[in-house]
Structure 1
Amino acid sequence: MTSAAPPIVIAKRRVMYIPGYDPVPPRAYRERYRRQSAKQAALSGYAIEIAPRSAKGRFGWRIAARMEEASTDTDLEVMVWADIVRASMDQGVLASYAQLARTAWAYIGSGALFRLMRLRKGPVIAALYPVMVLLLQAVLALALGFVIYTALLASGFYAVQSVTHAPLARPWDLILLLCAGLAGLASIGGFLRWCQRRDHLLAWYLMHDYAFSAQAQGAYPSVQEARMAEFADAIADALKSDTDEVLIIGHSSGAYIAISVLADLIRAGRVPVGGPALSLLTLGHVVPMVSFLPRAHRLRADLACLSNSDALTWVDVTAPGDGCSFALCDPVSVSGVAPEGKRWPLVISAAYSQSLRPETWAALRWKLFEAHFQYLNAFDNLPGRADDYDYFRITAGPKSLAARFAGRAPSPARIERAVNRYTKLAA
C-alpha cells in the first residue's frame, strides 16, 4: 500500500499528539506549545498564531503559521490517556511496594535489564533510581517507627513508675507495648504516605511508569488496548478528511503506542490510497523498555510491520543529552525484528549540545525531565539547515515530514545492533 505523494506545499494538516506516561491534563501541552512556539518564531523569524479548536472531539487547538513563504493551517489534537495513567498511579503504599517488587523481577528475572544496559545506561539508571529511593525511604520509615516505638515505650514505663513507685504490672505493660507498637506502625505508614504524596524526587512517579509497562511482561493491558482502538478510529477519520498530511507524534511512552496504532491501521487496510500523506514522528522513545520483555510480541510485530511499510514516513528523533530515552537506538533494529528491506525509521539526533546555546544547554542538562521534553520546546541555536529538527516547522510548516527530511542521512552515531533476547512476533 502506498499513500499519495504529498503536495509541494502543505496547506492543511492534522496532527495527533500522543503523550507519554503523564498524568497532567492536556491543557499543559497547549500552554507549552503556545509559549515555546512564540519563542521559536521570534528566534527563527516566522509567524505562528494559536486559536481554540473549532472541531468537536478531543482536546486540541488550531495553528495558523506563516513560514518559508507559505501559509499553513494545522489542527492539533491531544490523544488523551492521562486518566489511565492517573488510575494506574492510584495505589496505596503497600500496593506500590508490591508493584516495585514485581517490576524489578520483570526486568531482572527476564534478563531484559542487563541487555538494556548494553544500549544506553541513562534510562536504565532512571529505572533503578526509583528502586533505590523507595528502598531508602522504607529504611528511613522503619528507623522512624523504631525510634517512636522505643521513645513511647520508655516514656510510658517512666511515667507509670513515677506515679506508682512500682514496676509496671500486667495487663498495663501489654497495653503500653500495644500502644507504642501501633504508634510506631502509624508513623511508618504516615511517613511513606507523605513521601508518596509529595514525591519531590519523582521516584514514585517513575516507579509507576515502569510498572505500567512491565505489568504484563510487555503485553498491553486491556484498558490500554481499548484506548488505542479509539486512537486508531480517530486517525482513520482524519485520513478521510480534506487535509494534506496526517502527522502522528508519539513522545516517550507515547512512541510505542503510536507505532502499534499505526501498525493496526495499516494491517487493517485503513490507510487509503490517494489520501493524505501519513507521517509518524517519534520523540525520545523508550521502546526497548517494553519490546525487550518476554510477552511484547505485539509491539515487536508492530515494529516489524512499520519498518518496511510504504504507507507512511517515519522519523525518529532522540538526543544523547536526554537521559530518559534510548538515544539514537533504532527501535526496530535493537529489538531484533528488522526485516529484509527495512526502510524505517530515519534515526536522527536533536543534538542538544549543538542546537542549544551553551548557557541554555548548561542550565538544562541536569534537569532530566525537562531535557526529556525539550523536543517540544524552542531551540535557540539551530544551525539553520532546511533539515534541522524544529518541532514547530514540522507541526505547522508547509512541508510534509517526508519532504522536510528528504535526503537527510541518518545519524552516524545510531545504534542498530540487535540486542534483544526475545524476538518472537507471536505468542
Structure 2
Amino acid sequence: MSDATPSDQAQNVRRRRVFYIPGYDPIHPRRYRELYRKEGAAQAAISGYEITLSPKTTKGGPYGWHVSGNIGAPVETDVEVLIWSDIVRGSMSNSIPATYVQLLRTAWAYIGSGALWRLMRLRKGPVIAALYPVVFLIVQLILALVVGYGIFVGTMMLGNLAALALSLDAQTAALFYPVTLLAAALGALSVWGILDWFKRKDGRFFAYYLMHDYAYSARWGGANPPRLEARMAEFGDSIAAALEEDVDEVLVVGHSSGAHLAVSILADLIRAGRAPAEGPALGFLSLGQVVPMVSFLPKAHRLRADLCYLSTAQSLAWVDVTAPGDGCAFALCDPVAVSGVAPADKRWPLVISAAFTQSLKPETWKALRWRFFRLHFQYLCAFDAPRDYDYFQITAGPRTLAARYHGRVPSKSRIETPVNKFTAKAAS
C-alpha cells in the first residue's frame, strides 16, 4: 500500500507495545511466550539478528514479556497477551451429550442459513476443517453404537444358549428379562466407554475442541455474547492506554479467531477517537484469519459494520497475512470484500501471502504438510527462507508495520469476490 505517511515510512521505532489476541484457545498464555522464545531464537539464528526475552517491564495488566531486539537497530518491545482463554474454557461443554447437541445446532446454523455453501466458494480447506469435527463425532457415535449393539446381541445369544442348556421352558422365560437387562446395560456401557475414550484422547484428534470452536460463534449467529463484549471493551482500554504512552508503535496482532475480535476492538477504539493523531503509529496484523466463518452468519451485524469501517481508517495500517498451505484459514481472502461490505473508499487490508511452500525448505514443508493445526500457527514461527513476512522483524524490528509494507502490492491471487448472503450491518 502507498497510503502510509512519510513519518510512518521512517525506520524510527525504538519502543513498541504489542498486543497479541489469540484465537479460540483454552490454554494458559505462557505457551505463546515459550513459542516466541523458541521460534524467535531460531529465526534470529537463521536470519542473523539478535532477539532476547526477559520479564515484562509494565506493571500489572495482561500476561506478557519483554523483547530486546537488534535487527539493524536496537528496539525494546513489550508484548502482552489479551486473555480470553477463561471464556473459551467456560464455553466448552464437559459432557458428551451436550457436545452432540452443539453439533446439531452448529450444523443447522451453517447449513440452514446457507452460509456453508457460500463459504465453500471461497476456500474448501477451512470448510473441510469445519466439517471435520461434525463427521468425526458422527463416526465415533456410529462406531460406539455398532459395538454396543454387537455386545447386546452377543449377550442375548449367550443367554439363549444358557436357557437351552437348562432345557426348561419356565426357566427360559425366567432368564429372558434379566438377560435382556444385562445385555442392554453392557451395550450401553460399551457405547459410553468408547465415546468417553475418544473424548479423553481429543488432544490427538481435536474433534471436540474444533466442535466447541465453531459452536461458539454459531450459537450466537455471528454476534458476540455479552461476556465477550465486556472483555473486548477491556482489551480496547488496554490498547487505548498504550496509545497515550511514549512509544513509537502500538501493534495489535490477531491470530485465527482473534483477528475478528481485533477488527471490532480497533473499530470501536478509532470510532471513539481514542487513537490520537499525534500518538504512536497504530498497526494491525491479522494472521491466519477465519473472519468469513463469523461474518457469513446472519446475526454478525456488528462484525460486518466494523469490517466496513476499519477498511477505510486512515489512523492505522492493516496487513492481513495468510497462506494457501494453511488449511484452517481463509487464505488470501480479503475479509472485507468477501463479506460483501467493501465501501468505495476501501483502503485496507493489504492482503499478502506468507508463502509457506517458498519460505520453508522442502524437508520442513514435507514434515509439516499434514500437521494442519501446527501449520495454522506457522505465522508465529521461524521460516527457513523468510520473504517479506517475518513475525519477529515485525514485532521486534525498527520499522513500523506501515513502513515495512509501504509500496507493497497485494497478492495477485487474493480473492475479493463478495459471496456473502448476509450483508446487513449494525448502525454506527
Please indicate the TM-score interval, normalised by the length of the shorter structure: over 0.9
Deviations 1:364-410 (A, max 9, x none): 12111111110000011124xxxx10000000001000011111111
Taking structure 1 as the reference length, the TM-score comes to 0.95
The separation in 1 between residues aligned to 2:423 and 2:367, in whole angstroms, is: 40
1:296 paired residue number: 300
Q: How far is the alpha carbon of 1:155 from its aligned partner?
A: 2.5
Aligned partner of 1:352 in structure 2 is 356
1:137 equivalent in alignment to 2:135: no
Residue in structure 2 matched with residue 79 of structure 1 by the alignment: 82
Which whole-Å CA distance do the structure 2 matches of 1:3 and 1:250 have between them? 24
Shift of 1:36: 0.5
Measured after TM superposition, the shift of residue 183 of structure 1 is 2.1
Query: How many residues of Structure 1 are paired with residues of Structure 2 in the alignment?
Result: 421
Pick one of 176, 179, 199 that aligns with 1:176: 179
Is the 1:245–1:278 Cα contact (8 Å) retained in structure 2? yes
Residue 176 of structure 1 and its aligned partner are, at CA, apart by 2.5
In structure 1, what is the equivalent of residue 318 of structure 2? Answer: 314
Whether the 8 Å CA contact 2:223–2:300 is kept in 1: the answer is yes
SS of structure 1 residue aligned to 2:38: helix
Q: Secondary structure at the match of 1:412?
A: coil
Equivalent in the alignment of 1:424: 424
Deviation, structure 1 residue 168: 3.6
Q: Is the 8 A contact 2:321 2:354 kept in 1?
A: yes
Instruction: Pick one of 31, 34, 38 that aligns with 2:37.
Output: 34
Match of 2:227 among 223, 227, 242: 223
* AA at the equivalent of 1:362: K
Quote how far apart the aligned CAs of 1:177 are: 1.5
CA deviation digits over 1:174-193, x for unaligned, max 9?
23212321221122122112
What is the TM-score with the length of structure 2 in the denominator?
0.95
Secondary structure of the 1:234 match is helix
Letter in 1 for 2:356: Y
SS in 2 for 1:236: helix
Counterpart amino acid of residue 423 in structure 2 = T
User: Aligned with 1:231: secondary structure?
Assistant: helix
SS at match of 1:76: strand
CA displacement, residues 165-207 of structure 1 (integer Å, 9 cap, x when unaligned): 5554555422321232122112212211221121222122111
How far the C-alpha of 1:159 sits from its partner, in A, is: 4.0
| TM alignment of 1:388-403, pairs within 5 A | 388-403=388-403
Structure 2 stretches lacking a partner, 5+ long? none
Which residue of 328, 338, 341 maps to 1:337?
Answer: 341
Partner of 2:208: 204
Does 2:66 correspond to 1:51? no
Cα deviation, 1:323-344, whole Å, max 9, x if unaligned, reads 1100000000000000111000
Cα distance in structure 2, aligned partners of 1:99 and 1:14 = 38
1:132 and 1:317 map into 2 onto residues whose CA distance is 29
Change in 2 beyond 3 A, CA 1:64/1:176 = same
The aligned counterpart of 1:404 is: 404
The answer to whether the 8 A contact 2:257-2:289 is kept is yes
Separation in 1, partners of 2:49, 2:346: 36
C-alpha separation in 1, matches of 2:174 and 2:272: 73
Write the distance in 2 (CA, Å) between the matches of 1:373 and 1:128: 20
Tell whether the 8 Å contact from 1:3 to 1:275 is kept in structure 2 after alignment.
Answer: no
Which consecutive unaligned segments of at least 5 residues does structure 1 have? none
1:415 & 1:87 partners in 2: Cα distance? Answer: 35
Match of 2:319, SS state, is strand
Within 2, Cα distance between the matches of 1:229 and 1:179?
A: 56
Give the Cα separation in 1 of the matches to 2:396 and 2:326.
24
| Corresponding residue to 1:94 among 86, 94, 97 | 97
Moved more, 22-31 or 397-406: 22-31
| Structure 2 residue 295 is the aligned partner of structure 1 residue 283 | no
Name the SS for the 1:174 alignment partner.
Answer: helix
Taking a change above 3 Å as real, the CA distance of residues 26 and 161 of structure 1, as seen in their structure-2 partners, is: same
Offset at residue 358 of structure 1 (A): 1.4
Deviations 1:203-249 (A, max 9, x none): 22111111111111111112211211111111111111121111000
Q: 1:272 aligns with which of 272, 276, 285?
A: 276
- In the other structure, the counterpart of 2:239 is 235
Amino acid at match of 1:415: I
Shift of 1:252: 0.5
How far residue 152 of structure 1 moved from its aligned partner, in angstroms, is 2.3
Paired with 1:325 and 1:411, the residues of 2 have a C-alpha distance of 16
Deviations 1:339-374, CA, capped at 9 Å, x for gaps: 111000000010111111111112212111111110
The CA RMSD measured in Å over matched residues stands at 1.8
Aligned pair in 2 of structure 1 residues 247, 3: CA closer, same or farther (>3 Å)? farther
Instruction: Measure the CA separation in 1 of the matches of 2:402 and 2:144.
Output: 54
> Which residue of the partner structure matches residue 159 of structure 2?
156
Correspondence for 1:214 among 218, 238, 244: 218
Structure 2 Cα separation of the partners of residues 306 and 360 of structure 1: 36
Per-residue CA distance 1:57-78 (angstroms, 9 max, x = gap): 211100001112x100000001
2:189 counterpart of 1:186: yes
